[in-house]
Structure 1
């Protein structure tokens, strides 16, 4: 039986064109957070609003790139009360020029995912979830 996510839980937006990866990350996170998933840059911009606390954003999206989405999120945001964590197969040093709050290198572990969210929303990482 799946436990319902509390309504006041932080909201996470996952953006990745790799559907299986995005859906897997969402399954992990939805046990503790409200999760939205977007499979393209345009979907990400539609799914983003003031309720989003953390965005996991793939850098290499087809069409509208992750970098373009990142810049547009910051332009559209009413405040900077959200964090953006870039997901990339490249080393962190390749992403240092982007205005992101953090980066994770794929493949991402469950612990890395929860630790990253916890750094920005203040929740205790869910290290015991299988």
Structure 2
């Protein structure tokens, strides 16, 4: 079965070094969104382009941190052109100071992820299965 997306289907970039989590999120989201997955900050910077509408970004990435990735993405393009949901293992007040649209504390639920995506990029039509 192949997912069919229209040209206006939002593109989501998932960035998490926990491959199992990133892959699970991708499986959930790919029914409604175009999905790209990156397992490191450097991969995230390579996978990001003007087509990305929403980034789910792990804060604690090894090497290039989620905050560093966020800073670079915001430098590259107009920050209002894409949304960012920071994923963090521990909630904290310092996260509210980050220039992000939402913060989700791990472990995240399917509902958390879809609610955040719907709030930030709209609820994409259910993909048709062929």
Task: Compute the TM-score of the two structures, normalised by the length of structure 1.
Answer: 0.89
**More displaced 10-residue stretch of structure 1: 106-115 or 77-86:** 77-86
Alignment of 1:80 onto 2:100: no
Number of residue pairs aligned between Structure 1 and Structure 2: 126
CA contact (8 A) 1:59 1:88 kept: yes
CA contact (8 A) 1:118 1:125 kept: no
**Once the 2 structures are TM-superposed, how far is the Cα of residue 78 of structure 1 from its aligned partner?**
4.2
Secondary structure of 2:119's match? helix
Q: Which residue of 1 aligns with 2:25?
A: 25
- Give the alignment's Cα RMSD to 1 decimal: 1.7
**Once the 2 structures are TM-superposed, how far is the Cα of residue 123 of structure 1 from its aligned partner?**
1.5
Q: Unpaired runs of 5+ in structure 2?
A: none
Q: Which residue of 1 aligns with 2:71?
A: 71
Query: Once superposed, which parts of structure 1, at least 4 consecutive aligned residues long, lie more than 6 Å away?
Result: none
Secondary structure of 1:96's match? helix
Q: Distance in 2 between matches of 1:26 and 1:98?
A: 24
**Once the 2 structures are TM-superposed, how far is the Cα of residue 117 of structure 1 from its aligned partner?**
0.5
Q: Distance in 2 between matches of 1:2 and 1:107?
A: 29
1:3-42 aligned within 5 A = 3-42=3-42
Q: Which residue of 2 aligns with 1:96?
A: 96
Q: Which residue of 1 aligns with 2:120?
A: 120
Secondary structure of 2:23's match? helix
Q: Unpaired runs of 5+ in structure 1?
A: none
